[in-house]
Amino acid sequence: MSRNASASSRRSVSASVVLRDVLAGGPVARSTIARRTGLSPSAVTGHITELAAFGLVRELDEATRTHRVGRPHVPVDIDTAQHVVAGIHVAVPHTTVALLDLRGRVLLAERLPHHAREPLAVLERAADRLLAMLEAHAPERSPVGLGVATGGWVDQASGVIVEHPVLGWRDVAARDLLAGRTGLAVEVDGHSRALIHAERLFGVTRESVLQLFVGNVVDAAFATAGTVQHGPRSAAGAVAHLPVEGSAEPCSCGRAGCLQATVSEHTLARRALAGGILDQPSFPALLALAEQGSPAAVALFRERARVIGRAAVPLVDLLNPDALIVVEPGISRVPGCLAALRAELAARSWVCDDPEHSVLPTSFPRTVLASAAGAVLLTEFYQDPLRLLTRRLRRTS
Ligand SMILES: [Zn+2]
Give DSSP secondary structure letters for 294-343.
Answer: -HHHHHHHHHHHHHHHHHHHHHHHHH--SEEEEE-HHHHHSTTHHHHHHH
Q: How far is the CA of 239 from the centre of ligand 1 (A)?
A: 9
Structure confidence at residue 397 (pLDDT): 47
Ligand 1 centre from 219 Cα, in Å?
Answer: 12
CA atoms within 13 A on the CB side of 154: 26
- Provide the CATH number for the domain around residue 141: 3.30.420.40
227-236: average pLDDT: 88
Percent of all residues in the chain with a pLDDT value above 90, rounded to a whole number: 82
Q: Read off the pLDDT of residues 209-221 as tens digits, 9 standing for 90 and up.
A: 999 999 999 999 9
262 alpha carbon – ligand 1 mean position (Å): 9
Domain boundary among 60, 78, 96: 78
Say how far apart CA 203 and CA 215 lie, in whole Å. 21
Radius of gyration for the chain, computed over Cα atoms and rounded to the nearest angstrom: 22
**Across all residues in the chain, what is the average pLDDT?**
92
Q: What is the pLDDT of residue 29?
A: 92
Give me the pLDDT at residue 211, please: 96
Same domain, 315 and 214: yes
Ligand 1: centre distance to CA 159 (Å) = 26
CA 308 / ligand 1 centre spacing (Å): 15
Mean of the pLDDT values across residues 362-383? Answer: 95
CA-wise closest residue to 84 among 95, 96, 97? 97
Q: Kindly state whether residues 318 and 243 are assigned to the same domain.
A: yes
State pLDDT tens for residues 103-112. Answer: 999 999 999 9
Q: What is the pLDDT of residues 24-44, one digit of tens each?
A: 988 999 999 999 999 999 999
Closest by CA to 193, choosing from 209, 171, 206, is: 209
> What is the model's pLDDT at position 68?
53
Task: Please say if the pLDDT value at position 122 is more than 70.
Answer: yes
Centre of ligand 1 to C-alpha 241, Å, is: 4
Tell me what the mean pLDDT of segment 161-184 comes to.
Answer: 95
Residue 394 is predicted with a pLDDT of: 55
Q: How far apart are CA 385 and CA 8, in angstroms?
A: 13
Task: Examine the domain organization and report whether 355 and 210 are in the same domain.
Answer: yes
Neighbours of 62 (CB within 10 A): 8
Which residues span the domain enclosing 52? 3-78
Flag whether 368 is in a domain: no
Total structural domains within the chain = 3
Do residues 273 and 300 make contact, with C-beta atoms less than 8 angstroms apart?
Answer: no
Beta bridge mates, 86: 99, 146
Q: How far is the CA of 233 from the centre of ligand 1 (A)?
A: 21
Would you say residue 279 has pLDDT above 80?
yes
Asked if residue 337 is part of any domain, the answer here is yes
Q: pLDDT (tens digit, 9 = 90+) per residue, 309-320?
A: 999 999 999 999
Rounded average pLDDT over 324-330: 97
- 352 and 248 belong to one structural domain: yes
Q: What's at 245, amino acid-wise?
A: E
Q: At CA 94, angle to CA 91 and CA 95, rounded to 5?
A: 75
What confidence tens digit (pLDDT) does each residue in 294-313 have?
999 999 999 999 999 999 99
Same domain, residue pair 392 and 355? no
Given a contact cutoff of 8 angstroms between Cβ atoms, the answer to whether 35 and 72 are in contact is: no
Q: How confident is the model at residue 62 (pLDDT cuts 50, 70, 90)?
A: low
Residues 357 and 209 placed together within one structural domain of the fold: yes
The Å distance, Cα 41 to ligand 1 centre, comes to 56
What does the alpha-carbon distance between residue 306 and residue 293 come to, in Å, rounded to a whole number?
A: 18
Query: How far does residue 257's CA lie from ligand 1's centre (Å)?
Result: 7
Question: Residue 4: pLDDT above 70?
Answer: no
Domain boundary at 56, 78, 100, which? 78
Query: Is 143:135 a contact under the CB 8 Å cutoff?
Result: no
Q: Which of 34, 50, 78 is the last residue of a domain?
A: 78
Tell me, yes or no, whether 367 lies in a domain.
no
**CB half-sphere exposure, 187, CA atoms < 13 A:** 21
**pLDDT score recorded for residue 26:** 86
Structural domain includes residue 371: no
Question: Looking at the predicted structure, is the pLDDT value of residue 73 above 90?
Answer: no
Task: Count CA atoms within 13 Å of residue 205 on its CB side.
Answer: 8
Cα–Cα distance measured from residue 226 to residue 382, given in angstroms and rounded to the nearest whole number:
12
> 318 CA to middle of ligand 1, Å?
22
At residue 386 the predicted structure's pLDDT band, cuts being 50, 70 and 90, is: confident
Q: Is the pLDDT of residue 63 over 80?
A: no
CA of 397 to the centre of ligand 1 (A): 50
Nearest by Cα to 336 from 309, 318, 363: 309
Q: Tell me if 369 is assigned to some domain.
A: no
From ligand 1's centre to the CA of 368, what distance in Å? 25
pLDDT at 396 over 60: no
Tell me what the mean pLDDT of segment 195-202 comes to: 93
